[in-house]
Structures are given as structure tokens and as C-alpha cells.
Amino acid sequence: MALMTCVDMGRVRIERHILVIAYRETLEASLGALSLNADLRTLIRGSLDLEGEAAAATRVVRQTEGGVGWISVILLSAKRHRHSPAHDVFGLRKLLNADLLGVKSLGVLVALGDDDPVHLSGMVAELARQMPTFWCKRQAPEACRVSCAFVTQMPLSAPARAEIEALFDSIQVCAALVDTPAQTLDCEEFSGRIREEADALGLTYDEIVGDHLRVGGFGGLYHVGKASCVAPRLLVVHYRAKGAKHRVSLVGKGIVYDTGGLCLKPRDAMSEMKGDMAGAAAVFGALLMAAKLALKVDMDAVFCLAENAIGPSAFRPDDIVTLYSGLNVEINNTDAEGRLVLGDGVAYASRHLEPDVIIDIATLTGAQLICTGKSYAGLLTSDAGLEAALVTAGKAVGEPVFPMLYAPDLLLGEFKSQVADMKNSCKDRMNAQSSCAGHFVEKNLEASFAGTFAHIDIAGPASRDGRGTGFGVGLLSAYLRGLAR
């Protein structure tokens, strides 16, 4: 477990191990902030390529009063293209490693030549991703305490420091949930953890479970989850802020395990499907951020929780299920289950919660990795303003999204059914299937819904090297903070 404490430069006390994150242009400011002697500065400069463009790193061992410690310097690349995040989080990601971070007490000094706390939080977010908290090894890593100071023109305010600390904690909570096996984190346990936090934060919630989903018309959630020994559920947590001018519904896919159902995944494709609830985990992290920071924006967090299991009661190809929107869907692929549960979630939000904006986030399609890659999430929306806001938020905090094709007139025909309103999987998988999946979800919005909608597919960036990244927490919270201003 890692603990983050943000401190002012005037109060920072770094005892043994120091990690400096800077650009070549800001290196001198960081070394000056540490009050290093001239010989040590010269040694550090001599070990770095100060004329290069690529990200680079070095380590200098030094003698301290308490023993031998070290200073590591990561120089970020200033080279940019138009889709780059605000700062070089990818360079930082490449150079960070367990050797740098695996110590009990680590002082981090961030010098970016930037006073924007949201931009600074991108570096902290990447640190959080590199320090996972879920372990089942007999000898798990010891808890780390990270003190993070920032070289800025003006001292960071207490609220800014609180935002950065909350982001670090929330990303680690999200990533730990993604890493937790379904034998522990089943639907009931996941819901219980969310409700426990909601109670602690004074938030209200509603929950619909099992057969009550069937009776209530939530055919997507009910049929996807009915073969599991733990009932599916729709959990909606309400956060209300005094003076809020906007209301947002965040809808998260929470498939705690995805076998593929009767369209069973092959072995290699089924591994790591405990992480198919990463969208719901990201919504949970954003909810924690909003409540702890008292953001002035109303928010409803909609968690669509189910296990796509196999068994005698599993839903089948050729079944026809009725979603909460009223759409009848012919099942032609039980492994296209995420859009079914999200369809119920966005239908509920648009009918009952009166949001200005609905955003769903999900590990929805493997094709997203082909569409926008492993580091950029896919974004689907008809609203140019919402698209720009989410792209800007992602760049700011180092969780980038990239727009996917928005063309329902061209793509919804992929779901044509002879016997129902739609099929649940597109006919031609070579025809922008990630966009198709987003349009399927969008089709379930209430006809009277007058707000804006966005779909975010995080199948790629939700995990890295078999571990959850907490992706989505920074993106959603940065977007919410923009609305709250």
C-alpha cells in the first residue's frame, strides 16, 4: 500500500531516497529546490544527456547522515504531437520501475514548469499506477510512504494538494478492485464496498437485485447475470452538491467476470476477465473524488454489476431479451454482454435521473485496441463540445481519449434482426465494431432525453502487464472538476 502526501517546498523533508521528475529546461530549478551542493549538481548533469530529445534517467548514489541513499532523475521529453497529453506521462511510464519505487520512504520532486494542479496530477497518477496495492504473495511489498513536492512559481493551495492526494488514492482503489479475483469481488462484495463508502460519505443510494431486475424490466442485466450463483444488480449512488449547475450520470460496466457465456471464450482470452468491471471501478473512483473534494456538480453513479457465467440458466444465442428501454434484442453472441447491461444503465439514467450529461465507461470491445491503441481510450459522442471537453480532460491528467467514428446511420444496420428490434452483436466485425457497440448502448437512451451522451471504451488502457491501471478515474474527475468551476 502506498500513501501519498503532498507538501510545500518549504516543508519538504526528503531523508534518503529522492526521485526528481523534470524536463531539461526545469532540471536546474529542481536541483536548486533540493539545495544540492555544486559537486553533486555537476555529477548529476554529467550523467545525463541534456541535449537529447528522448526521455532519459540516471541515478546518483550519495552519502547521507543516515546512511547511503540515492537521487534518481527522470528527464521527460519535451517533444510533442497534437494528440500528446499535457506532459510526458508515457516517458515517465517507460522509465519508472520497481527499483525506483520499491522503498519504504520516497521523496518525489516534480518540476514541470507548470502551475496547473490538474497537469501536475498526471505525474502523480502515473506514480499511483506504478505502485499497485493488491497482492496475494506470501511476502507482499511493504507499505510505502511517498512525499511529493512540486516546483511551481506559486505555492500550491491546500485544495490543490488535496485534489492530487485524492486522485492518487482513488486510482489505487480503482486499480486494486480491477486486480481482485471474482472469487473475492463478486457482485455482492463489489456492491457492499461501494455502499460502505457511500455510507461513510453520507451519500444515498438505490439498489435493484436479482429477480427484482426481471420484474422491473432490466432484461439486459438480469439475463447476463442470472446463471451466476451471485445475483446481478443495478446500484445507483447519488451525490448532490450545494450550488451545482450541472448534473452528470456516470454509468459503469461492472462484469465481475466474463466467461463469454455460452459463446465461451478460449482459454487465453478468458484470462484476466476479472478486470471486465474496470469501467464500474473507474466510476467508483470518480465518485470518491467528487464527494471527498465536495465538487459543485451533481452526480449519479450507476453501477451495472453482473457475472457472465455459464450454467443451466445461462442466456443463449437466439434468446430474445427486452431491455429497460423497451428494445427487444435477439442474442447472437453471449460474449457481447457489456452493451446489454450498459443499455439498461443508460436507459435508467435517462428516464429517471434527469442528467445534463450521460457518460458510460467500459472495457467493451477488444477492437478498441485496434481502433485507438493500448494507451488511448476510444470516445464516441455526437456532441462536439462534450468530445472536446473529454479530450482536453484526458490530455490534462494523462489519461487520453481519442474520438471514434460517430455514424449511426451507417453502423446501426449491423444489428438488423428479422425477429426483434436489434441483434446484440454486429454482423460485420470489420465495420467499425467499437463504434457499433457504442451506438448500441446509445440506442437505449430515452427518446425524451435532451442532454448529451458519450461512450468511453477503455478495453486497452484499463490494464497493463496483467495489472489494473485505474484508468478513467483521472479522466472523469478532471471532466467533473471542469464542470464544477
CB 116 within 8 A of CB 76: no
What's the confidence (pLDDT) of residue 26? 95
Residue 166, all three cell numbers:
485524492
In the chain, the amino acid numbered 122 is: G
The CATH architecture one would assign to domain 2-156 is 3-Layer(aba) Sandwich (3.40)
Given a contact cutoff of 8 angstroms between Cβ atoms, the answer to whether 377 and 406 are in contact is: no
Residue 401 near residue 414 (C-beta atoms within 8 A): no
| Per-residue confidence (pLDDT) for residue 363, from 0 to 100 | 98
Contact 120, 150 (CB under 8 A): yes
Question: According to the model, what pLDDT value does residue 431 have?
Answer: 97
Confidence (pLDDT) at 68: 54
Full DSSP string of 11-50: T----SEEEEEE-GGGHHHHHHHTT--HHHHHHHHHTS-T
Half-sphere exposure of 264 (CA within 13 A, CB side): 7
Q: Determine the straight-line distance between the first and last CA of the chain, rounded to whole angstroms.
A: 32
Task: Find residue 247's DSSP bridge partners.
Answer: 298
Q: Provide the 3-class DSSP secondary structure of residue 182.
A: coil
317 vs 331: CA distance, rounded Å: 5
Question: Do 256 and 276 touch, CB atoms closer than 8 A?
Answer: yes
* Beta-sheet strands, E only, within 144-232: 144-150, 204-209
Residue 150 CA to residue 161 CA, distance in Å, equals 10
* pLDDT score for 98: 76
Q: Is 253 known to be catalytic?
A: no
Low-confidence residues in the chain, pLDDT < 50: 12
Length of the chain: 485
Q: Are 301 and 208 in contact (CB under 8 A)?
A: no
Secondary structure of residue 315 in the 3-state scheme: coil
Question: What DSSP character marks residue 282?
Answer: H
- Is 467 annotated in the active site? no
Residue 115: half-sphere exposure toward Cβ, Cα within 13 Å: 6
What is the rounded CA–CA span in Å between residue 369 and residue 367? 5
Residue type, 348: Y
Residue 334 is which amino acid? T
User: What Rg value do the Cα atoms of the chain yield, rounded?
Assistant: 23
Residue 412's identity, in one-letter code, is L
**Fold category of 178-484 in CATH:** Aminopeptidase (3.40.630)
> Residues spanned by CATH 3.40.50.10590 within the chain?
2-156
Spatial distance between the Cα atoms of 48 and 130, rounded to a whole number of angstroms: 23
Q: Which helix (H) or strand (E) holds 423?
A: strand 422-423
Nearest to 455 by CA among 441, 445, 468, 469: 441
CB distance 282 to 252 below 8 Å: yes
Pairing of strands 298-308, 105-111: unpaired
One DSSP character per residue, 76-145 reads PP----TT--SS-HHHHHHH--HHHH-SSEEEEEEE-S---HHHHHHHHHHHHHTS-----SSSPPPPEE
Buried b / exposed e over 356-390, threshold 16 CB at 10 Å, is bbbbbbbbbbebbbebbeebbbbbbbeeeebbebb
Where would I find the H helices in 261-337?
A: 267-270, 278-292
Supply the pLDDT for residue 9. Answer: 62
Q: Which pLDDT does position 63 carry in this prediction? A: 55
- Parallel, antiparallel or unpaired: strands 377-381 and 422-423: unpaired
* Per annotation, catalytic residue among 45, 193, 195, 265: 265
Q: State residue 16's pLDDT score.
A: 66
What is the location of CATH 3.40.630.10 in the chain? 178-484
Of 247, 274, 339, 481, the active-site residue reads: 339
Report yes or no: 48 and 56 within 8 Å, Cβ to Cβ.
Answer: yes
Residue 306, phi then psi, degrees to nearest 5: -160, 160
